[in-house]
């Protein structure tokens, strides 16, 4: 979750070259829209993007560069980039999980700074991130105007430690036994924002409830097969053994640690 992704091999100069090559070969008239001035501007804008990589919220929306406006940019994106260049771009990310949720493959391209507002970055590879359909849906056209409310950028950022995230347990509540909370002192405010922006709170809550139900089920199987009442110490040992840290993802490690902290409450609910 919130993993860093390898920097794209393509840059806007190569994209422009490809657009021109393809428009010369095919019967498209896109080439005539890309004046030398526009091409230079697109390269300059990409440089600016890289320079501001840690504070992209400072970049200003732009609706046109000369006659390169939203219509032209979309035409190039949908007609050439998505159909032809996307394949080359995506070949670098084959087998990579969605950098946001870490679950599904990244099969859609999200404009981190949305193309509806930032026309200058419509075909700029560093503004295009392969993410899954779900994460793309939640992010929509959001982008933010401060560091704390800006979107996650996997080429430049890494929040995979999930620093400050915790799980709160209320075993008696059957419909929502788990709540996501944050340690205010350790949590980066941007992290809280992106957890909400991509609905990672909802996603993690569902995953965590599934995990809890699985652990309950496994413990109850042991309870049924045992003849004597399990002591709280044995319960703790069994729980420990069941939740080996090997192979667990970051959120699962946090989940297990937090569950261990309330194991006496958990024990009393399961009535051993």
> Which of the ranges 29-37, 62-70, 129-137, 168-176 carries the binding residues for Zn ion, by CB under 5 A?
129-137
Nearer to Zn ion, 100 or 219 (CB): 100
Query: Per-residue x/- mask for Zn ion, residues 64 to 103, rule CB under 5 A?
Result: ----------------------------------x-xx--
Using CB under 5 A as the binding rule, whether residue 178 contacts Zn ion is answered as: no
Within 32-71, strands assigned E span 64-65, 68-69
Residues contacting 209, CB < 8 A, separation 6+: 176, 177, 178
What angle in degrees, to the nearest 10, is found between the helix axes of 200-225 and 263-270?
60
Q: If you count them, how many residues does the chain have?
A: 272
Q: Helix or strand or coil: residue 10?
A: coil
Using CB under 5 A as the binding rule, whether residue 109 contacts Zn ion is answered as: no
- Of 163, 240, 177, 174, give the one whose Cα is nearest residue 208: 177
**Distances, alpha carbon 246 to alpha carbons 65, 214, 251, in Å:** 53, 17, 13
Nearer to Zn ion, 106 or 114 (CB): 106
Using CB under 5 A as the binding rule, whether residue 132 contacts Zn ion is answered as: yes
Q: How far is the CB of 66 from Zn ion (least distance, A)?
A: 36
Using CB under 5 A as the binding rule, whether residue 204 contacts Zn ion is answered as: no
The footprint of Zn ion on this chain (CB under 5 A) covers a number of residues equal to 5
- Of 187, 119, 125, give the one whose Cα is nearest residue 153: 125
Using CB under 5 A as the binding rule, whether residue 219 contacts Zn ion is answered as: no
Using CB under 5 A as the binding rule, whether residue 135 contacts Zn ion is answered as: yes
Nearer to Zn ion, 31 or 92 (CB): 92
Binding site for Zn ion (CB under 5 A): 98, 100-101, 132, 135
């Amino acid at each position: 979750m919130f993993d860093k992704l390898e920097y794209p091999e393509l840059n806007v100069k190569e994209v422009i070259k490809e657009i021109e090559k393809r428009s010369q070969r095919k019967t498209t008239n896109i080439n005539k829209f890309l004046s030398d001035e526009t091409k230079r501007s697109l390269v300059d804008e990409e440089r600016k993007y890289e320079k501001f990589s840690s504070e992209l919220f400072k970049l200003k929306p732009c609706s046109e560069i000369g006659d390169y406006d939203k219509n032209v940019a979309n035409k190039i994106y949908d007609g050439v980039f998505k159909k032809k260049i996307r394949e080359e771009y995506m070949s670098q990310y084959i087998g990579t999980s969605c950098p946001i949720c870490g679950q599904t493959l990244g099969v859609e391209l999200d404009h981190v700074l949305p193309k509806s507002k930032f026309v200058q970055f419509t075909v700029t590879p560093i503004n295009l991130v392969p993410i899954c359909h779900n994460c793309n849906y939640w992010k929509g056209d959001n982008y933010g105007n401060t560091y704390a409310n800006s979107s996650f950028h996997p080429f430049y950022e890494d929040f995979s430690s999930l620093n400050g995230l915790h799980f709160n347990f209320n075993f008696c509540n059957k419909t929502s036994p788990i709540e996501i909370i944050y340690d205010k002192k350790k949590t980066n405010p941007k992290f809280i924002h992106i957890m909400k922006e991509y609905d990672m709170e909802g996603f993690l809550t569902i995953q965590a409830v599934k995990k809890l139900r699985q652990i309950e089920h496994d413990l109850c199987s042991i309870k049924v097969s045992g003849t004597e009442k399990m002591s709280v110490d044995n319960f703790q040992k069994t729980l420990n053994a069941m939740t080996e840290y090997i192979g667990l993802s970051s959120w699962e490690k946090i989940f297990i640690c937090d569950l261990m902290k309330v194991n006496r409450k958990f024990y009393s609910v399961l009535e051993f």
